[in-house]
Amino acid sequence: MTSRERVLAALERRPVDRVPVDFGGTRQSGIAAAAYHRLRAHLGLHGRRPVRVFDLFQMLAEVEPDVAERFGADCVGLYRPEVAFGLRNEGWKPWRLFDGTPVEVPGGFAPETEPNGDLVLRRNGEVIARMPRDGFYFDRMEKYPGALHPELERWEPPRLDGATLEHYHRQAEALFTGTDKAIVAPLGPPYELFFGLGQGGFEQWMLTLATEPDYVRALYAKLVDAWLDNLHAFHAAVGDRVQVLQICDDFGTQRAPFLSERLFRELVQPAYARGLAWVHTHTRWKVMLHSDGAIFPLLPAIVEMGVDILNPVQINAAGMEPRRLKDTFGDRLVFWGGACDPQRTLAFGTPAEVRREARANLEVFSRGGGYVFAPVHNIQANVPPENIVALFEAVREFAGAAAG
């Protein structure tokens, strides 16, 4: 099978020659630049240009094609030219992470260093992002509509412009014809309808959500109107070259959902369902929801609103045990992730422990199809290269055992 055929078969629960793999195909299945630098050295890939940071927000590395092939990656991402903070990924220049790792960053990236050593990014004089001294990624500081509480009669969410649509068209064509990978494209509403909408004032947004349902519905209506305009334009630009549409929103903490199932069904679900109904009516795309946390109680509603795929499958969150997920939702959801506990085993375990846990999760999630192997969110900066190799060796060994 080609990678694209393999992923599509898994998404449709048809037989596959091996479990498909995602390494670097999304901004939630990638690898921190520092960890990638060490991984390249471990693999003996010396003498290359410095690691390129394509996502400044999370400080994620651009995974090079030969490294992706080394680990059996079957997916590739289709992104805006400005992946983070409105800075175009061009004009690359040298820079160093706090730990001294040499990297390349976009030419427009010019953080200020504060007296305490923190790095900040400004827009129009306002701090929009901050990386604490010796930190690994930025925290967003800018306020989004849920925190700003805009007057809806005077406010409009952003639409995709012609230049961005032309970029999507060219890149989708290049990826579709130049690779055999499944293409994943993130294109949710202009803002996440729950968690991201409250950026810069989440407590205020939660109060609004709980006490002003009519305002929230009106805000959601405007956001989904913009999303539908963007979806229509995006589909005209890329067509069926894209296989997976990704939406991102975080509905859970590690112990429980952020909001009740009742509130989710009354406010959030109908808004997302309106957009996803258009997707399923007018395109062949499968819909992936990226949501961290303990969201098991919300999964029936998430399925009903039109989600086909769940990522990152945070198996160490409360109630998110692999067998429970597969037994309860395996006929309705494809699981994309869930390979190994990222906060304990992957970061602090031995390679043998990583391989053993990943193999056990493969046994559960791959049963009956409907599974794409990937780390639980991005591989963080502190993960040893030996553990990364062991993680992906597990899926190769699993494929070999199945073939045997």
DSSP string, 65-128: HHHHHHTT--EEE---S--BTTB-S-S-EEEE-TT--EEEE-TT--PEEPTTS-EEEEETTEEE
Q: Would you say residue 112 lies in a domain? A: no
Contact between 141 and 130 under an 8 Å Cβ cutoff? The reply is yes
Angle at CA 26, nearest 5°, toward 22 and 32? 90
What domain count does the chain have? 1
Contact between 313 and 323 under an 8 Å Cβ cutoff? The reply is no
Tokens linked to 245: 């549409």
Enclosing domain of residue 163: 3-44+63-85+142-403
Coil/strand/helix, residue 39: helix
Share of the chain above pLDDT 90, in %: 98
Angle at CA 269, nearest 5°, toward 216 and 10? 145
Tokens linked to 72: 């059996």
Residue 46 pLDDT class (50, 70, 90 cuts)? confident
| Closest listed residue to residue 372, CA positions, set 328, 320, 284, 308 | 308
Q: Cα(387)–Cα(348) distance, rounded to whole angstroms? A: 9
Q: What separation in angstroms does the CA of 270 have from each of 204, 213, 257, 306, 363?
A: 22, 13, 18, 10, 35
Q: Would you say residue 53 lies in a domain? A: no
Tokens linked to 179: 């690779």
Indicate if the pLDDT at residue 403 is higher than 70: no
| Closest listed residue to residue 84, CA positions, set 186, 170, 173, 159 | 186
Q: Would you say residue 273 lies in a domain? A: yes
User: How distant is the alpha carbon of residue 215 from its chain centre?
Assistant: 29
Tens digit of pLDDT for each residue in 182-211?
A: 999 999 999 999 999 999 999 999 999 999
Q: Give the mean model confidence (pLDDT) for residues 116-140.
A: 96
Q: Which amino acid is at 349?
A: G
Q: Would you say residue 267 lies in a domain? A: yes
Tens digit of pLDDT for each residue in 140-190?
A: 999 999 999 999 999 999 999 999 999 999 999 999 999 999 999 999 999
- DSSP state, residue 219: H
Q: Cα(140)–Cα(203) distance, rounded to whole angstroms? A: 15
Indicate if the pLDDT at residue 87 is higher than 90: yes
Q: Would you say residue 128 lies in a domain? A: no
Q: Cα(185)–Cα(243) distance, rounded to whole angstroms? A: 8
Tens digit of pLDDT for each residue in 249-308?
A: 999 999 999 999 999 999 999 999 999 999 999 999 999 999 999 999 999 999 999 999
Which residues, including other chains, have CB under 8 Å from residue 168's CB and lie 6 or more apart?
78, 80, 185, 234, 237, 238
Q: What is the CA radius of gyration of the chain?
A: 21
**What is the predicted pLDDT for the residue at 399?**
78
Which CATH number is 380's domain given?
Answer: 3.20.20.210
Instruction: List the end-to-end C-alpha distance of the chain, in Å, as a whole number.
Output: 18
Tens digit of pLDDT for each residue in 300-349?
A: 999 999 999 999 999 999 999 999 999 999 999 999 999 999 999 999 99
| Average confidence score pLDDT of the chain | 96
Element housing 391 (H / E): helix 385-403
Indicate if the pLDDT at residue 404 is higher than 50: no
**CA-CA-CA-CA torsion for 157, 152, 270, 245, nearest 10 degrees?**
0
Q: Helix H segments across 124-268?
A: 145-148, 162-178, 202-211, 213-238, 261-263
Indicate if the pLDDT at residue 401 is higher than 80: no
Coil/strand/helix, residue 2: coil
Q: Would you say residue 146 lies in a domain? A: yes
Indicate if the pLDDT at residue 28 is higher than 50: yes
Q: Would you say residue 57 lies in a domain? A: no
Q: Would you say residue 316 lies in a domain? A: yes
Contact between 314 and 292 under an 8 Å Cβ cutoff? The reply is yes
- DSSP state, residue 143: P
Q: Which amino acid is at 261?
A: E
The residue count of the chain comes to 404
